[in-house]
Structure 1
Amino acid sequence: MQSLECLRPSAPMDCLATVLDSSYITPTIKSIWVHLSNPEFRFLPGQSVWPKFERDGRKFSKIYSIASSPERCPKVELCVSRVGWSSAYIQDLEIGATIPVRGPYGLMTLNQLPKRPRLYVAEGSGIAPLKSQIDWLRDCGYSQPVWLVLANPETADCLPYHDYWRSLQQTWRPFHYVEAIHCSPESALVAQDLDLSQFEIDICGVGDRVSEIYEFILSMGANPNQVRSEKFIAF
């Protein structure tokens, strides 16, 4: 276990990832747990790994955010949405299958406990790096308010980790879960009437949606110096 005073990632390294478990958490999104072969692997909550594989004669690599707390290393969780041939390959790996990966990578991270309340806004599998942060804050006994606003444009009535978030809200007092079902996260956020100037805010979603959510949050009074965003490309 890494102490709060020295939470640092390892330099990017090559590992062999062995699939331990794979299950659907929505009709299109899977939670995939893997075991990494290198015991020196360490990451910051919010970082990613880079699976390297070949399919149909094509070498391909794509970064996937880690969805679990660093406290679970060398086991890590990937959250993979089935939107193209690369994600389908990852989703279809059987228990016991192995795949080379390299990491960690990524800059929208935590390396110490924040001093302000946290707000997370995610769409679809963009929840992955934010879940890593939330789980780590819970593991550390973080006591500031933590809000999650979650939507899923792919399947509006199926939010990733839905039951988990509801349970976490019951067992961890600082955590507040806002379900954006059949509505945008912007609409769901307005209903909460939060003073966003008090929050550190992380946003993760697909493509241009990130910019839209970012601008909306600034219009609600968020401090731009306290807002970070990350987008992913679905393929």
Structure 2
Amino acid sequence: MQSLVLSRPSAMDCIGTVLESVQLTPTIKSIRLRLNQPTFTFLPGQSIWPVFEREGQQFKKIYSIASSPSQCPEIDLCVSRVGWSSAYLQDLNVGDRIAARGPYGLMTLDQLPTRPRLYIAEGSGIAPLKSQIDWLKESGFSRPVWLVQSNPETTEHLPYVNYWRSLTQYWRSFHYVEAIGDSIERQLAYQALDLSQFEIDICGVDRRPDEIHTFVLALGAKPERVRFEKFVAF
């Protein structure tokens, strides 16, 4: 396993060109952008801030980057269609351009962890966690990495599900739990992991990160080793 330390980059203004737009679930798309700044980079887990204009007003919303920093200056966004801003992004065509600024965000990795990792994601909250998992895989991380994933919007579809299933076949450290038709809390209890040994990152919508955070603490997770982010749909 490599000994890696990443520097926190400064934010910069960019123009992104849409290279690909792929439907992951009925409500979630993966949108790949090539940024015009060849020096753009980010820490795994950071976000970019596309700038939209509508009816003479500028609207801004941060979207987490779902790809590894190794892919720069190309980045992947995981966008759930839940409001006008996400619809704007989802409706971009290949070749369209959009202004953006970044990176931003604090729930990141800047070096290889010293403990096992547990990632808990709902819906498009998988994006910053996928970035971290991809970077850990590329870096040869050998400690256990668990992902528990659900999608409350369309419960029969999980973004990147085939990728996660295949990853379990060739990365021995990686364990994947699909919480379909079952709550994340129920699946966590069923796995009976010793959460006191894990660093835990949680990402979901509205109150769910708070609820899951409370639950993992009740299962023995150390408060100082648990981080969570919530996103707002619009």
Q: Fold-level match, TM-score > 0.5?
A: yes
| Structure 2 contact 5–112 (Cα < 8 Å) conserved | no
Q: Deviations over 1:134-191 (max 9, x none)?
A: 0000010100000000000001110111111000111111000000001111111111
Counterparts of 1:202-217 in structure 2, within 5 Å, are 202-217=201-216
Match of 1:51 in 2: 50
Name structure 1 gaps, 5 residues minimum. Answer: none
Match of 1:68 in 2: 67
Amino acid at match of 1:180: A
| Structure 2 contact 4–112 (Cα < 8 Å) conserved | no
Instruction: State the secondary structure of the residue aligned to 1:10.
Output: coil
Match of 1:137 in 2: 136
CA distance in 2 between counterparts of 1:166 and 1:177 reads 7
Instruction: State the secondary structure of the residue aligned to 1:122.
Output: strand
CA distance in 1 between counterparts of 2:193 and 2:4 reads 31
After the TM superposition, list the runs of 4 or more consecutive aligned residues in structure 1 that deviate by more than 3 angstroms: 3-6
| Structure 1 contact 197–222 (Cα < 8 Å) conserved | yes
Match of 2:159 in 1: 160
| Structure 1 contact 66–128 (Cα < 8 Å) conserved | yes
Per the TM alignment, residue 9 of structure 1 is displaced from its structure 2 partner at its CA by: 3.2
Match of 2:97 in 1: 98
Per the TM alignment, residue 4 of structure 1 is displaced from its structure 2 partner at its CA by: 5.3
Match of 1:31 in 2: 30
Match of 2:176 in 1: 177
Amino acid at match of 1:99: I
Amino acid at match of 2:29: K
Query: How much identity, in percent, do the aligned residues show?
Result: 66
Q: TM-score, normalised by structure 2?
A: 0.98
CA distance in 2 between counterparts of 1:188 and 1:126 reads 18
Q: Deviations over 1:194-219 (max 9, x none)?
A: 00000000000001111000000000
| Structure 2 contact 14–100 (Cα < 8 Å) conserved | yes
CA distance in 2 between counterparts of 1:48 and 1:4 reads 24
CA distance in 2 between counterparts of 1:58 and 1:151 reads 35
Residue-pair matches, total: 233
Instruction: State the secondary structure of the residue aligned to 2:107.
Output: coil
Per the TM alignment, residue 10 of structure 1 is displaced from its structure 2 partner at its CA by: 2.0
Name structure 2 gaps, 5 residues minimum. Answer: none
Counterparts of 1:5-24 in structure 2, within 5 Å, are 5-24=4-23
CA distance in 2 between counterparts of 1:146 and 1:213 reads 18
Counterparts of 1:111-150 in structure 2, within 5 Å, are 111-150=110-149
CA distance in 1 between counterparts of 2:4 and 2:80 reads 34
Instruction: State the secondary structure of the residue aligned to 1:191.
Output: helix
Per the TM alignment, residue 228 of structure 1 is displaced from its structure 2 partner at its CA by: 0.4
Amino acid at match of 1:73: C
Per the TM alignment, residue 58 of structure 1 is displaced from its structure 2 partner at its CA by: 2.5
CA distance in 2 between counterparts of 1:6 and 1:130 reads 18
| Structure 1 contact 69–132 (Cα < 8 Å) conserved | yes
